[in-house]
Structures are given as C-alpha cells and as structure tokens.
C-alpha cells in the first residue's frame, strides 16, 4: 500500500522492504506528504492519543486544550463528571472554539460568530439562527444536531486521559498490552497525582526522531555523560526493555542491585561521587528513595504514538510528543508529584527535576541531538539509518544493549501507515 503515499520520488518506498524494522529511510523525516499521511493514518487513525491528565480537569466544567497530532482538541469534564473531548474547531467557519489553555466554563462560545457549544462539544446555539425581525437567519432545513466539531472517543487509564478519532480502536488495556499496563500502574495506579510544573520544549527535528530517542536505551550512557563524568556510582547494573506485541509501546528499566532495604541506606549507597578532581559539591540533588519498593531507579515508558512516562528516581513526568512541522516538534513536559507527598519528598522531586527537561543534567542533550540528525540527513533522503543493535526483531530483552524498542516503534508505524 506504499503507493498511496504520493512519493514524488522514484520508488523510495521500495527501498524500505516490507517487514524491515532495522533501518528507517531518512525521507520519513523530511517529507510534507508523509507528515500529512501521519496525521490521517496515525493521529486520527486507530491509536489512543494521550491528551491530558485527569488531575488537570478535576471539577465539572474544567477544560484544557491540547492536540491529537496537529488537530487542536478541547478536553472537558461535564456536569455528569465524565470526560469528553472534541476538535477545537467551530462547525461554522472553522475557527478555534476555545482560546485558553485551561479554565472552567459551562459552555464554550466561538468568538467569531458566537456559535455556542456545551461541554461535550454539541452545538447548542447559533447566533441569529432565526434572523432579525423576520429577516435573514439560517434556512428552514438547518439542523443544529447535524453540525459540530468531531468528537473523540475518550478513555482514562491510571489518571491519563487518552482520545481516539477511530471507531475501531482497541480497548486501552489491549492497546497498551498487559506488561506495559503493569509498568504504568506501577507508577501511577491508586495515587492521586498533582501537577508541580509544566514546560514546552521546541525540538528542531521531526517528531519520530524523538520517538526513537525515547525508546533508545543504547544512547543513554553514551550521550548523557553526567553520571559517568562525575564518577557517580549508582546501583543500576541490571536492566531490561519490554516491547508490546505490536511494537508500539515499550518500557525500559534500570534496577538497583539492592532490591530491598532500608530507605536511607539506599540513598547513601546509591550516591557516590569520587572521580578525583571532578566532584559534585552538593549531592542532595541526587538523594532519592525507593518509593515503589522494587529497586527500579529508572523507568522510561512510551505509548504509541506520542506519550512518555518517565520515572527517574523520584522525578516523575509525562511527556507529550506533538509534530508541528516536518522538522519541528513540541515536547510538552508535565512534572508530577503525588497528593500524599511529604514536604521532604516533594522537595526531593523538585531538586531531582534538575536531571530532566530542557535544562536537565541527563536530558538536555536530547533536545539537540534530534536536530543534529535532522541537519545531518539533509542530503541523504534516500539513505537509511542502522538500527541493528541486539538483532533485527522487536522482542523484549533482559538487557538494554539493544535497539529492540526502536524497531518496535517502526513496526507499529508501518502497520498504522500501511507502509
């Protein structure tokens, strides 16, 4: 079905034989027609797009604006307590209905011609529908129920609100896969979260380069040298990566060798900075507790197409990957705490947040490295990357010296794109 993308190039799709996941041709990161096809087949296709956190819209009438790919979306909580999502596009002439990032409102009125919508996105009022003093107005056959922005199916899992524009999307548990569900529940189940900060990072690269980066367990210790430079020894010798059956979702983890033990002992053992001349002066930033009680100090989890949950020690964040152009991506970070955090635990999260985000000691490089690829491949549209570490398949691995989860991404990508 590759031919359904009008390539404009002589058979580039043929250079990506069916069933190949250990290479990705660079034209995928460069072409407008690919980006348009992704919007239609992925973001509006049979996927669950992460939209917002339930905690961001706790009360009836609360709303937040977000995106499903490039589609602007409003997510609301109606008076019935249920969450709804609809395209942020007036049925009349296409203007944005909601202009605020978040708020509380019983209904939403488009500023252009005052068409009015309820919290479920149903058209409730049309200005001058019956004209003025018997003149003008909508024609006799006009029916409000026939007009409205597109509605998304909504599902909530562990406080994460997902939306889909496809009628045949699998139930969320099935979509995530049993193991990824468990890894999500491990961090988020049964504990009300609180947003402690949110930032947007503009990445100078195609969204898929970040989707690869997140699934890339190979680069972590090679690109991000903060820990090794300062000789910070961590009890993180073991790890693994699991990949969902369809390839699209993954969770990678690093385990502490000490799986049990008293928390303060864990904290003091976990941190040692002894690289002679180069020493971290204030180690308090690296103090952490084993709050999940399983010794996993780092877990990165992704859900196709654009969701990431990160647990790095006690620094918990969700990231939303949104394409804004062929070579530009918005990465929305939401840093989380839990409602039952002690002040000490909360402070620990705030200090550890120095590790992540656009200025993070162990993540700032990710903001730039996608751009290095985007620039590096400028004249290499017909060539491909090499994604062969750990073999050619997309299986789960009990180590991280593999690019299995990146291959998994491409497998899911090809399935959704019919490519």
Partner 1 sequence: MHNRLIQLNADYAAAIDDDRLEDWPGFFAADCLYRVTTRANYRRGLPAGLIYADSRDMLADRVLSLRKANVYEMQSYRHLVGVPRVLRADPQGGLKAATSFLVMRIDRQGGTDVFATGQYLDEIGADGDGLRFKVRDVVCDSSRIDTLLALPL
Shortest distance, CB of residue 204 to partner 1, whole angstroms? 6
Minimum CB distance to partner 1, residue 5 (Å): 29
Minimum distance of partner 1 from residue 186's CB (angstroms):
22
Contact 293, 360 (CB under 8 A): no
**In the complex, what is the shortest distance from the CB of residue 336 to partner 1, in angstroms, rounded to a whole number?**
9
Three-state DSSP at 87 gives strand
User: Reduced to 3 states, what is the DSSP secondary structure of residue 292?
Assistant: coil
Min dist. Cβ of residue 343 to partner 1 (A): 11
CB 133 within 8 A of CB 113: no
| Nearer Cβ to partner 1 (259/278) | 278
Q: Which is nearer to partner 1, 22 or 341 (CB)?
A: 341
Phi-psi region of 331 (alpha: psi -120 to 50; beta: other; left: phi over 0): beta
Please tell me the distance from the alpha carbon of residue 45 to that of residue 169, in angstroms, as a whole number: 8
User: Burial of 300 by CB count in 10 Å (0-12 exposed, 13-18 middle, 19+ buried)?
Assistant: buried
Q: How far is the CB of 101 from partner 1 (least distance, A)?
A: 7
Q: Residues 191, 339: contact at Cβ < 8 Å?
A: yes
Closest to partner 1 by CB, 54 vs 246, is 54
- Closest alpha carbon to 280 in 239, 230, 242: 230
Residue 280 or 377: which CB sits closer to partner 1? Answer: 280
Query: How many other CB atoms are found less than 10 A from the CB of residue 381?
Result: 15
CA distances, 96 to each of 72, 86, 217 (Å) = 8, 11, 39
> Which is nearer to partner 1, 137 or 371 (by Cβ)?
371
Q: Which is nearer to partner 1, 158 or 317 (CB)?
A: 317
In terms of CB distance, is 137 or 197 closer to partner 1?
197
Q: Cα–Cα distance between 58 and 336 in angstroms, integer?
A: 15
For binding to partner 1 (CB under 8 A), which residues are involved? 101, 195-204, 223, 225-226, 229-230, 278, 280-282, 284-285, 335, 346, 349-351, 353-354, 357-359, 361, 364-365, 367-369, 371
CB nearer to partner 1: give 18 or 105: 105
DSSP assignment of 31-72: -HHHHHHHIIIIITTSS-EEEEEGGGS-STTEEEEEEETTEE
Q: Which is nearer to partner 1, 264 or 284 (CB)?
A: 284
Q: How far is the CB of 178 from partner 1 (least distance, A)?
A: 32
Helix axes 207-215, 364-376, angle to 10 degrees: 130
Rounded least distance, CB 199 to partner 1, Å: 6
* Residue whose tokens read 């409000």: 144
Q: How far is the CB of 228 from partner 1 (least distance, A)?
A: 8
């Amino acid at each position: 079905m590759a031919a359904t993308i009008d390539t404009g190039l002589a058979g580039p799709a043929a250079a990506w034989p069916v069933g190949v996941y250990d290479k990705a041709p660079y034209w995928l990161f460069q072409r407008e027609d690919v980006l348009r096809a992704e919007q239609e087949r992925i973001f509006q296709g049979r996927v669950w797009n992460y939209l917002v956190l339930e905690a961001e819209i706790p009360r009836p009438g609360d709303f937040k604006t977000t995106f499903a790919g490039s589609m602007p979306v409003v997510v609301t909580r109606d008076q019935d307590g249920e969450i709804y999502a609809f395209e942020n596009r007036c049925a009349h002439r296409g203007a944005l209905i909601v202009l605020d990032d978040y708020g509380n409102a019983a209904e939403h009125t488009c500023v252009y011609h005052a068409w009015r919508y309820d919290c479920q996105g149903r058209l409730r009022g049309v200005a001058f529908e019956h004209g003025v003093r018997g003149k003008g107005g909508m024609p006799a056959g006009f029916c409000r129920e026939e007009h409205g922005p597109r509605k998304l199916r909504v599902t909530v899992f562990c406080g994460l609100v997902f939306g889909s524009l496809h009628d045949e999307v699998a139930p969320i548990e099935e979509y995530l896969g049993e193991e990824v569900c468990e890894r999500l529940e491990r961090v988020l189940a049964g504990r009300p979260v609180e947003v402690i900060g949110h930032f947007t990072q503009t990445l100078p690269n195609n969204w898929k380069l970040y989707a690869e980066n997140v699934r890339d367990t190979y680069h972590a210790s090679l690109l991000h040298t903060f820990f090794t430079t300062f000789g910070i020894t961590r009890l993180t010798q073991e790890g693994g990566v699991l990949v969902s059956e369809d390839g699209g979702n993954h969770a990678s983890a690093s385990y502490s060798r000490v799986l049990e033990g008293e928390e303060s002992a864990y904290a003091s053992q976990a941190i040692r900075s002894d690289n002679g001349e180069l020493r971290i002066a204030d180690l308090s930033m690296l103090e952490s507790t084993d709050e999940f009680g399983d010794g996993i100090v780092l877990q990165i989890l992704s859900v196709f197409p654009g969701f990431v949950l990160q647990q790095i020690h006690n620094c918990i964040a969700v990231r939303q990957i949104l394409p804004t152009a062929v070579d530009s991506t918005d990465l929305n970070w939401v840093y989380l705490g839990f409602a039952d955090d002690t002040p000490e635990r909360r402070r620990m999260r705030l200090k550890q947040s120095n590790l992540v985000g656009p200025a993070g000691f162990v993540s700032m490089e990710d903001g730039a490295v996608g751009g290095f690829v985007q620039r590096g491949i400028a004249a290499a549209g017909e060539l491909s990357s090499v994604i062969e570490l750990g073999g050619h398949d997309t299986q789960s691995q009990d180590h991280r010296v593999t690019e299995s989860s990146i291959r998994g991404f491409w497998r899911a990508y090809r399935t959704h794109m019919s490519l």
